Chain A
Amino acid sequence: MEFKLEAHRIVSISLGKIYNSRVQRGGIKLHKNLLVSLVLRSARQVYLSDPCPGLYLAGPAGIPAPPPQQLGEPAAGPPAGWGEPPPPAAGASWADTEPQPEGSAVSEAPRVGDAVPEATVTGVGVVPQGGAADAAKAAWSRVEGPRQAAAGEAEGPAGGWGVFPLGSRASRRPCGCPLGGEDSSGTPAATPRAACCCAPRPAEDEPPAPPAVCPRKRGAAGVGGGPTSFPAPGSTPLKKPRRNLEQPPSGGEDDDTEEMDTGNVANLISIFGSSFSGLLRKSPGGGREEEEGEKSGPEAAEPGQICCDKPVLRDMNPWSTAIVAF
């Protein structure tokens, strides 16, 4: 269970790095992105291989993952030394290179993070890399925040949240759906969307936007135009640099309800994974190159060639275009 959280955290950080690499000066660095994609793949494998995907609180320890002691800092909180402000270069480059919308996302991410009840302050503070991880976390939090806030009380007794040492990032679940819906009486399950707060915003709700930096304004309720009854902290108009994180294909929800909570994460990972062209392949092939590697050479892959078993992904033009633009 801890491994899954760690994996989740690493996935979001990795995605943030890849996203951030697009705006780094000097172009995309092939080596670094290859390494990040390898980490992403490993984390994703661990995440998806968790035998009890939804049951964070009751999950048995049987995780066929690498041995625990190698997975970063599973039990220790962020060391004090890591609460240092980000390296000036990183902070400066983030401030200089990031366009305004993402900058506002950065500034909002801590707010969201702080507002999550179970989040520890250090969880926000430990993100040294400024915007990239923040953007990723912000995107995640918008998916999870309202639901989590609602389901917080339900999970409290189980004590699952409080013990997570990994800070705000860890305390966010990708989707609090099944627990909140099944176990909690306090959850506003009356809403049709209650089954999954991460329910995808239908694709047609999203006006196609130019790729890269154009944010998409969210509704007042944050996620999915959902009911404002969710006491979502910080979910008032938030600019989102990565719209598609909240937009897993509706086709992706065809999984059984048991998988629903991870379905969206898996979908989101699939979205990114498919754009990495091979991360999802079963055949062992080692690390995969992102689209930007292809783009930098003449043999750029078309978005349609992305290995994807969800046709609806092809309809996600803005993101595909963004990937191709990598």
Chain B
Amino acid sequence: MKCFSRYLPYIFRPANTILSSSCHTEADIISTVEFNHTGELLATGDKGGRVVIFQREQESKNQIHRRGEYNVYSTFQSHEPEFDYLKSLEIEEKINKIRWLPQQNAAYFLLSTNDKTVKLWKVSERDKRPEGYNLKDEEGRLRDPATITTLRVPVLRPMDLMVEATPRRVFANAHTYHINSISVNSDYETYMSADDLRINLWNFEITNQSFNIVDIKPANMEELTEVITAAEFHPHHCNTFVYSSSKGTIRLCDMRASALCDRHTKFFEEPEDPSNRSFFSEIISSISDVKFSHSGRYIMTRDYLTVKVWDLNMENRPIETYQVHDYLRSKLCSLYENDCIFDKFECVWNGSDSVIMTGSYNNFFRMFDRNTKRDVTLEASRENSKPRAILKPRKVCVGGKRRKDEISVDSLDFSKKILHTAWHPSENIIAVAATNNLYIFQDKVN
């Protein structure tokens, strides 16, 4: 691991140009970002149902300064809009989550999901093609058998690299409500999908049935008080998973205990601070993302204003709480009006679990170093992202005199929000999705 600046947790600089679509439409808005297990590939999903995969260039001696840039590797349409005729509902094609499977052969596999259907995609390369068929000519047209006088053995000849994505499995019709999470189990044979009220366990090989392992739907829907907001398997224990709720609680379940894990094994909840009570207390306490640390010892949760780190061994309160943008606490009513209060921010760990990152508004994103307790606010913008420039820390002025480089709270652009970020599993490379733009930053190379 490189030694980073003494002054800041990390100094990031853009690795290459910003990757974005040429025309900005609603369909181009990035809705999920995910590195694969090696960090070689980076997948993004957008509102239009497309998946774009970037691959890191191999480092070459000739271009030392261009250390492993990410270029487009494959693009495919994962989901299409559908219509549920029975309920007269349109099903959005927006990709809610992408999760990679660990690589087991030359091909790459990933799961992508929209609100209702999960698909397993195989992404494979083809750099050879067979030539010399007997019954077909080179264009594929059938040859007249009468003209065939000799037989030949087809041979494989090199061709331009072609990356093709094929849907290998479609896991459909298992969710009544909107899927918000998928998580691959550490056994690499099963995965789970979670919607607002239920969590289902799938086997990759079986598409026509799934096991329901969590069901919080009340018998009387009028008594509904909370929904599931996120779920994830433990990184090492294939029997353990957690799910978060809209009430700000996290439940850890052990699938060995019973088939239906309605009774949690552990229940994580922090008592509410009564002095902060407002109309919107319930909304801002709703957890939008939950992530296990790589070690499996901790879980991190994101609610509207904070990021919290919990120790699995302590249920009554988090061990760390980081304020992401507490200056918004006095603006909750306005944020409620313009729906920003419902934004679901994600959070990520770095490879060593020492730094956590999450997004904010005005294209700001925040990093918190758990060891040094230092934090930094950075901005993902074209103006600040010239190649090989160093990102300058930003600061929001919450009151009083505004310094020269500070931004006042009222000047924040709430339409520019960073909801989705990803951190390379082993290196300090981060991917930040800002609306329809994807920014990739690397740490400074000494």
Contact = CB atoms under 8 A, between A and B. Distances in A.
B336 A289 contact: no
A286 interface: yes
Interface stretch (A68-76, A109-117, A219-227, A311-319): A68-76
A289 B282 contact: no
B94 interface: yes
Interface in B336-351: 336-339, 342
B90 A39 contact: no
B83 to A, nearest CB: 10
Contacts of A126: 334, 337
B254 interface: no
A105 B107 CA distance: 55
A101 interface: no
Interface in A133-151: 133
Given A30-B177, A129-B337, A296-B177, A81 B412 contact: yes
B373 to A, nearest CB: 28
Given A26-B115, A73-B334, A79-B331, A299 B221 contact: yes
A31 B415 contact: no
Given A25-B92, A293-B224, A128 B410 contact: no
B214 to A, nearest CB: 15
Interface in A46-92: 46, 66-67, 70-73, 78-82, 84, 86-90, 92
Interface string A116-129: 00000000001111
A273 to B, nearest CB: 12
Contact of B221 (A27, A71, A90, A301): A301
B279 A42 contact: yes
Interface in B268-283: 275-283
Interface residues on B, range: 35 or more
Nearest to A66: B277
Contacts of B180: 31
B5 interface: no
Nearest to B180: A31
Contacts of A285: 222-223, 225
A2 interface: no
A73 B331 CA distance: 7
Contacts of A127: 337
Contact of B337 (A13, A92, A294): A13
Given A72-B333, A285-B223, A30 B178 contact: yes
Interface string A260-302: 0000000000000000011000000111110001111101010
A118 B282 CA distance: 33
Contacts of B286: 31, 35
A89 B47 CA distance: 12
Contact of B339 (A129, A287, A307): A129
A84 B410 CA distance: 10
Interface string B320-341: 0000000000111110111100
A87 B246 CA distance: 25
Nearest to A39: B279
B333 to A, nearest CB: 3
Contacts of A295: 87
Interface string B165-176: 000000000001
Q: How large is the interface on A (under 10, 10 to 19, 20 to 34, 35 or more residues)?
A: 35 or more
B414 interface: yes
A278 B337 contact: no
Contacts of B84: 27
A43 interface: yes
B411 interface: yes
Interface in A1-48: 6-7, 10, 13, 17, 25-27, 29-32, 34-35, 38-39, 42-43, 46
Given A31-B196, A88-B415, A285-B225, A70 B282 contact: no
Nearest to B286: A35
Interface in B377-429: 409-415
A10 B283 CA distance: 14
A33 to B, nearest CB: 10
Contacts of B115: 26-27
Contact of B414 (A87, A277, A287): A87
A307 B84 CA distance: 30
A5 B177 CA distance: 35
Contacts of A7: 279
B224 A34 contact: yes
A299 B218 CA distance: 11
Given A31-B286, A285-B223, 8 more contacts: A39-B279, A39-B280, A71-B333, A72-B280, A73-B333, A79-B331, A79-B410, A87-B338
Interface of A: 6-7, 10, 13, 17, 25-27, 29-32, 34-35, 38-39, 42-43, 46, 66-67, 70-73, 78-82, 84, 86-90, 92, 126-129, 133, 277-278, 285-289, 293-297, 299, 301, 307
The 8 A-B residue pairs whose C-beta atoms are closest, nearest first, are A72-B333, A286-B225, A81-B410, A70-B278, A128-B338, A26-B92, A289-B224, A277-B222
